[in-house]
Structure 1
């Protein structure tokens, strides 16, 4: 349910469970975490999905069985954040719930115009993963973070772009091409130089 394409120095990691809106199981979270650890040697990582939804968050049956509060979510987002290379979330559709953590941890986020963004964790009776509100607030500010996490708002791609939650809206057919184009300069640069610039950006 996770596919990996290692093309030269760029790894493309794809959520591949479109019949279930790429809802994440414990097995998928574990594999994603392990892939991100292994990708420490890659110059760039692109995270995307198949179908019309990037991810609906936790698989409902797995969530009821305890996945909603699993440390795997935080372990995954921390592994993404720790990548020394450039990380790009190429969002092929809606991003919801705990799946938002791995996208927030990426260096950049590009999205198709039809995507929607929401994180109904409070309504479901759970806390968000510890790093998610901080990363979201760093991108869009505390009030807008509360709009999503406490106000229960679903925002569309245009609003997400205005907020700064995503960095660019692209046509679906160009999503991966544009993500790959964003990696070209980093892959061509000296690794130490690219790493230092990434660290300087915060």
Structure 2
């Protein structure tokens, strides 16, 4: 349910392909994504996206009840993405919910379709968020807005997410991957050590 495309120029595209279940994530899917992100140390650009109209609804409900909601696999995935030396782009083809937000927060850039919604109802469900998610969110949107999402349980629409800084650009669905590729082009053409150096200087 995770599709991986590797191109000769160093571009990797990982696609969540479970649209019939709103791309909800099982432990096996999360582990595969974490392995891909770990292996992508050799990639120049990693794009994360999904099939259908939802990027990911978060944890598979049955597995969440069985313990997935508090598994460390979420943190392993986001940590591996955050450590990538190359450029990471979340191409959000639709709504992003729950723990799935962690992988997008860990990316360098977030593109979103205009119809997406963003929410992280972890407190309502009786869990703490994954350890690094609140800090990464607060770095993007500020502490108050992070609390609005995490403690206020608010659903943020795409245009508001853009104003907050939660996403970097809104892109029509038909052009989402093409735009991600355009943004990736300079990094793919650069020497890896230069791209890595610039990324380090921006941190």
1:171 aligned onto 2:162: no
Deviations 1:93-114 (A, max 9, x none): 0000000000000000000000
Q: Which runs of 4+ in 1 moved over 3 A?
A: none
Partner of 1:52: 53
Partner of 2:79: 78
Partner of 2:4: 4
Q: For 1:48 and 1:83, how far apart are their aligned partners in 2?
A: 17
Q: For 1:142 and 1:170, how far apart are their aligned partners in 2?
A: 26
Partner of 1:161: 162
Q: For 1:181 and 1:160, how far apart are their aligned partners in 2?
A: 22
Q: CA deviation at 1:190?
A: 1.2
Secondary structure of 1:181's partner? helix
Within 5 Å, give how 1:91-102 maps onto structure 2: 91-102=92-103
Within 5 Å, give how 1:179-198 maps onto structure 2: 179-198=180-199
1:131 aligned onto 2:127: no
1:37 aligned onto 2:43: no
TM-score, L = length of structure 1: 0.99
Q: CA deviation at 1:7?
A: 1.4
Q: For 1:164 and 1:95, how far apart are their aligned partners in 2?
A: 15
Q: CA deviation at 1:174?
A: 0.2
Secondary structure of 1:109's partner? strand
Matched residue count? 202
Deviations 1:137-173 (A, max 9, x none): 0000000000000000001000000000000000100
5+ residue gaps, structure 2, are none
Partner of 2:64: 63
5+ residue gaps, structure 1, are none
Partner of 2:20: 19
TM-score, L = length of structure 2: 0.99
Partner of 2:201: 200
Q: For 2:153 and 2:6, how far apart are their aligned partners in 1?
A: 38
